[in-house]
Structure 1
């Protein structure tokens, strides 16, 4: 029979030597004040008067082992300690201080049988854990779900959070280390360390590398802003790193010379003068595996477990192995603008579904999911009545879904096992009632289509097989994280891309070269071939440019608020840092493409229909991480 410990209330000063001997002297960890207080309360409650026994020592050993195995750093803080104690306690089991190895408890879950269906989910922003980057600890911390009352705070911190996260990424990049010998733009031996803007004051004529938010001041001049100050930029001689867009609202790295004179603004509270930029570039993205390792393998989508916030490496290996074994699994992504009020679209969908149904009858496995992208109506869904009848637009919208349900009901094998995911577009309710489909007024993340419009469809499908998702949402399949976004982002990037003087000079050279070629009768000589430029199609160039910009910026919307409204309640859903396994864009203004950058696969499906009576879609095979472009003629 276990002996009941007499209660005692220890003081942190009493426990400090005991904790120091095990945690600090033996394991090299430093216990902060808030963590020591939590540790004191825990040991008092669990072991009471007999707190110096072997069990309490084992608990400290377990804490140290688990802390180091999770790569939490050298400093034990209160928040991290709470999570470690939660992991140790596990699933209401006895305290692991009575056992010799905490890692056995972590591995216990790995001995259980894994069902792939438990790791196949669509994660919407409310379901996604709200991780915020802590610039002091250089780690993410789990915050409580935000509400409308937090809107002011989240709006203020939106760009600050982005800045500190990107600055932390740059601090790990070898090109911006103090010991680096290569310059950002040349091979001259000099420091490539990023300087804070406040530190350029009084150093007239010196060369620096700065990092910050690119925007404009009240006079319409470009400025760069970091956490310490902002400074006016002179971009007249700037050379950009090719292959990216540069717009206001993006965080950029600039190299140049500070001049104490030349600025248009003067104030005692501002750094005067001007920074003459010679080179401008994007903050380089970091591979997914490196970022996850740096942040302690946090489970950023919350799919791993209800009892742990971190990805178990052994479990991850098992999930990857399981992915490769399910070679028949596939996910279908349809093109954008699935207008259910268009008879041609309905005809095309009927042909597509009949193709899937026939394949299932022939022995193929049904798609795990069919992801459909809005808008699901050709015009903005407003509260006014239609011009041809007294039926309200909302009722007409519901009728469109009912008609789609009638078509889908004819394919009994398809609807039996396939999930249908619907991601809204700019014309869908309720956002379209005030934005009227305008991209500048559409806020992201966008709320899902109200379930009242799809009630009949929901009754048709098995429970849980209809998912009315946010835009964007994440689809998790075993170890893979796939971001799904519906946004015509390419035109916005093109319209707001900064045109540098150097770009104009290059364009003049190309134009003169074309004129000379025409004058020579179209004859191509060695002199007319530009060997310095990689000859790829315009489509591929623009696709790479789009992908690199988004992934380098670490967000799906790298704009100021006057270009794109952001619902900062769920701004973490727009973050792509760490990078996901894949991103499925649906930009209806751009052709389909498939580009890989820093290990992340980014594809664009393009519009659903075309003038040639064709349905465009992609099939994704997770076992091979391969997208296949498909089309069905109707």
Structure 2
């Protein structure tokens, strides 16, 4: 259809209201406010004139409705939002005629192949930079806010409500994930007779029941989901959005392959007894006890499925529509995702280097290892430059603690000053060391992630992991000013713990914590665990005997998983099933509620890197998420530097040791 020029006319909102209602409200389910109707009337009067009832106006309203729904602006069209969308559409029409736009199947301008620059989609994101995303239980979607953190007084006043909402948000998010799991969906019956048989047999599939609905149903079997914690009587309880109930775990069999600690959300199956329980029977308390037969974790969901369910929202705030003012978060289109993935696979020379944790810069042994490592990296960069291979690492990540002793305040000001100077001298030593390798300085980004001994949290935690406030802020600039002067502008990244890296279509999460020891110490020991351990010992003995016999006979060896691999898989499954980097109670880890959203790993990231110095290296993939642990940088028992290289094009890790 050819575009025609029409003289503008003066329409009244009452003239356009039936037309707008038929398209925006009746067809697309949107409600237009009075101020938005006035803006729309003025625009259509000027743009289409006497042809305001024609097909071009119809398509114009269709485009507005589609863009409004794509940007998830809500059900009510307001004047300010409508002005932004119209401005956006006018800018796009400068490069193409209106008739061409009317025949498009969508209203989002695709990014051309030549317009994609990988550097635009490679960012380091701290919890302070990450937009706050809160799950809305009513809409089953995320509310994204890019509003900057307010004043200290305002933050303190919000902490109480945010602390309460932290567990509520986790509960509703995991409940929504379970509702999409086919194992926990309500069974559909084809007839009344089949429904009667199900009720008679007590077989209602794996439907999760709210705790308030078990009242008065003594002796019946249920599946419950909620937060595992303890009450004032030191009894285990399960709490959901409706109430809490006491648990009896004396005959519980746990699902193998996971840790179970207080503060985690679990699924329990068992029988409700109205006469059991040791708590006081208050009028507003569901009395009795729930005798748990089986306990398990809420199964995780693949990243692609979660992103599709939540509308492919840009949780990291990387992709922004240039035409929309402010920090409006957009949704990532499937076309853009495909182009990013294609570009990602073509960049085979890109890689990241992650050095093991506890890089004690006050240790001569660690400095010797870093010197040997920097020399090898410098030589490889020189060789790649001479051969035009361009295999320079994009980033070199060093993880703390950067001091073997925590930096803390003392009663003596002289001692405090000397401690600060000593800590600063550690990074001065690193600066002097890096100064000998100009190619590393000029080409690599250096990322520093703090540990429990690094300031300023070490001032009150004294290096205790349980007292370390999460997320942990970056190392203050005052200690690294010489290092900042050495590196080119923007090449020193002072990261938080945890922090994220957005590389094209991949989300890489890095965190430093003592996960394995914490899970082992706080894992609930069930009565059935002893029997299971004895059975496991007998089974392993039989496997060993079978393996020895097969070796003697020259047959194939039977593969036996070591205890370290089993524990690594348990840790990975627990974290990803919980969808949170700190699924514990406050006595195990203090959480800053202002940044609780930064600890969520739902949807699952592409890569999760755990810097647990108390455990060996491992690589485990679960539900498409690759989880690796990079242990201590330099062990006390040998002179060997531990690090890993990650190639994002193939999503492969290479663990390497450097003897020095």
Which of residues 212, 216, 220 is equivalent to 1:202? 216
How many Å apart are 1:46 and its aligned residue?
Answer: 3.2
How many Å apart are 1:117 and its aligned residue?
Answer: 1.0
Give distance in 1, aligned partners of 2:85 and 2:647: 34
Partner residue in 2 for 1:129: 131
After superposition, the Cα gap between the structure-2 partners of 1:570 and 1:493, relative to the gap in structure 1 and judged at 3 Å, is same
After superposition, the Cα gap between the structure-2 partners of 1:219 and 1:83, relative to the gap in structure 1 and judged at 3 Å, is farther
After superposition, the Cα gap between the structure-2 partners of 1:499 and 1:42, relative to the gap in structure 1 and judged at 3 Å, is farther
Residue 349 of structure 2 corresponds to residue 317 of structure 1: no
Partner residue in 2 for 1:281: 296
Partner residue in 1 for 2:172: 164
Partner residue in 1 for 2:649: 623
Residue 29 of structure 2 corresponds to residue 30 of structure 1: yes
Give distance in 2, aligned partners of 1:583 and 1:389: 39
1:85-104 C-alpha deviation (Å, 9 max, x unpaired): 85674387268995426766
1:519-551 C-alpha deviation (Å, 9 max, x unpaired): x9x9989xxxxxxx9941111101100000000
1:161-199 C-alpha deviation (Å, 9 max, x unpaired): 100000000011000011279xxxxx9953211111111
Residue 513 of structure 2 corresponds to residue 492 of structure 1: no
In the alignment, is the contact (CA less than 8 A) between 2:302 and 2:604 conserved in 1? yes
Partner residue in 1 for 2:239: 225
How many Å apart are 1:119 and its aligned residue?
Answer: 1.0
- 1:317-396 equivalences under 5 Å are 317-363=338-384, 365-384=391-410, 392-396=418-422
1:567-602 C-alpha deviation (Å, 9 max, x unpaired): 111111100000010001100001000000000000
In the alignment, is the contact (CA less than 8 A) between 1:16 and 1:36 conserved in 2? no
- 1:40-51 equivalences under 5 Å are 40=37, 42-44=39-41, 46-47=43-44
Partner residue in 2 for 1:478: 504
Which of residues 163, 177, 181 is equivalent to 1:173? 181
After superposition, the Cα gap between the structure-2 partners of 1:458 and 1:53, relative to the gap in structure 1 and judged at 3 Å, is farther
After superposition, the Cα gap between the structure-2 partners of 1:177 and 1:18, relative to the gap in structure 1 and judged at 3 Å, is same
Partner residue in 2 for 1:412: 438
How many Å apart are 1:76 and its aligned residue?
Answer: 5.3
Q: Residue 90 of structure 1 aligns to a residue in which SS?
A: helix
Which stretch shifts more, 41-50 or 405-414? 41-50
Which stretch shifts more, 577-586 or 138-147? 138-147
Q: Residue 362 of structure 1 aligns to a residue in which SS?
A: helix
Give distance in 2, aligned partners of 1:57 and 1:612: 75
Give distance in 2, aligned partners of 1:534 and 1:83: 61
Q: Residue 657 of structure 2 aligns to a residue in which SS?
A: strand
Residue 108 of structure 2 corresponds to residue 100 of structure 1: no
1:354-400 C-alpha deviation (Å, 9 max, x unpaired): 10110111125211000110001001011349999895211111111
1:197-247 C-alpha deviation (Å, 9 max, x unpaired): 111111111111111100000000111111111111111111111100111
User: What TM-score comes out, normalization by structure 2 length?
Assistant: 0.85
Give distance in 2, aligned partners of 1:549 and 1:591: 18
Partner residue in 1 for 2:118: 116
Give distance in 1, aligned partners of 2:234 and 2:595: 31
Partner residue in 1 for 2:554: none
Give distance in 1, aligned partners of 2:416 and 2:236: 52
Q: Residue 135 of structure 2 aligns to a residue in which SS?
A: strand
Give distance in 1, aligned partners of 2:303 and 2:16: 40
Which of residues 242, 257, 270 is equivalent to 2:285? 270
Partner residue in 2 for 1:595: 620
Residue 270 of structure 2 corresponds to residue 260 of structure 1: no
Query: Unpaired runs of 5+ in structure 1?
Result: 182-186, 526-532
Q: Residue 210 of structure 1 aligns to a residue in which SS?
A: strand
1:37-83 C-alpha deviation (Å, 9 max, x unpaired): 6753542453469795456533321134446767x6xx952489987
Which of residues 464, 468, 475 is equivalent to 2:494? 468
Give distance in 1, aligned partners of 2:127 and 2:416: 37
Which stretch shifts more, 249-258 or 50-59? 50-59
Which stretch shifts more, 508-517 or 165-174? 508-517
After superposition, the Cα gap between the structure-2 partners of 1:178 and 1:436, relative to the gap in structure 1 and judged at 3 Å, is same
In the alignment, is the contact (CA less than 8 A) between 1:385 and 1:393 conserved in 2? no
Q: Residue 465 of structure 2 aligns to a residue in which SS?
A: coil
Give distance in 2, aligned partners of 1:189 and 1:269: 30
Give distance in 1, aligned partners of 2:502 and 2:625: 15
In the alignment, is the contact (CA less than 8 A) between 1:180 and 1:191 conserved in 2? no
Residue 253 of structure 2 corresponds to residue 239 of structure 1: yes
Q: Residue 109 of structure 1 aligns to a residue in which SS?
A: coil
In the alignment, is the contact (CA less than 8 A) between 2:70 and 2:331 conserved in 1? no
How many Å apart are 1:257 and its aligned residue?
Answer: 1.0
Partner residue in 1 for 2:461: 435
In the alignment, is the contact (CA less than 8 A) between 2:110 and 2:335 conserved in 1? no
* CA-based RMSD: 3.2
Give distance in 2, aligned partners of 1:537 and 1:16: 71
Which stretch shifts more, 426-435 or 502-511? 502-511
In the alignment, is the contact (CA less than 8 A) between 1:88 and 1:102 conserved in 2? no
Give distance in 2, aligned partners of 1:160 and 1:285: 18
Q: Residue 448 of structure 2 aligns to a residue in which SS?
A: strand
In the alignment, is the contact (CA less than 8 A) between 2:359 and 2:633 conserved in 1? yes
Which of residues 200, 215, 227 is equivalent to 2:229? 215
After superposition, the Cα gap between the structure-2 partners of 1:437 and 1:7, relative to the gap in structure 1 and judged at 3 Å, is farther
